[in-house]
Amino acid sequence: MKLAIDHLVIAAADLDSGTRYVAERLGISPAGGGAHPRMGTHNRVLGMAEGIYLEVIAIDPRAEPPARPRWFGLDQDAVRARLAQGPYLAHWAARVEAPLDLSRMQAEHPDRLAPAIAMTRGALRWRLTVPDDGSLPAWREAGVAAGDGLLPTLIQWDVPDYPGVSLPRQDLALLRLSGSHPQAGLLRQGLAWMGADHLIELEQADGPPRLSAQIATAQGLRTLS
CA 158 to the chain's CA centroid: 18
The 8-class DSSP code of residue 207 comes to: S
DSSP string covering 188-202: HHHHHHHT-TTT-EE
Q: What is the pLDDT of residue 142?
A: 83
Give 94: exposed, middle or buried? Use CB within 10 Å, 0-12, 13-18, 19+. buried
In angstroms, the CA 72 to CA 95 distance is 16
Q: What is the pLDDT of residue 2?
A: 77
- Helix ranges (H only) for the chain are 15-26, 77-83, 102-108, 163-166, 184-194
Q: What is the pLDDT of residue 9?
A: 98
Torsion angle of the four alpha carbons 164, 167, 170, 176, in this order, in degrees rounded to the nearest 10: -20
Q: Provide the phi-psi class of 197: left if phi over 0, else alpha when psi is between -120 and 50, else beta.
A: alpha
Q: What is the pLDDT of residue 1?
A: 66
Report whether 125 contacts 158 (CB < 8 A): yes
Q: What is the pLDDT of residues 68-110, one digit of tens each?
A: 999 999 999 999 999 999 999 999 999 999 999 999 999 999 9
> Using alpha carbons only, how large is the chain's radius of gyration in Å?
16
Q: E strand or H helix at 88, and its extent?
A: strand 88-95
Q: What is the pLDDT of residue 51?
A: 95
Instruction: Return the closest-CA partner of residue 190 out of 135, 138, 134, 128.
Output: 138
**62 Cβ contact partners less than 8 Å away, ≥ 6 residues apart:** none
Q: For 205-222, b where at least 16 C-beta lie within 10 A, e where not — what string?
A: eeeebbbbbebbbeeeeb
Q: What is the pLDDT of residue 78?
A: 93
All residue ranges of the chain with pLDDT < 50 are none
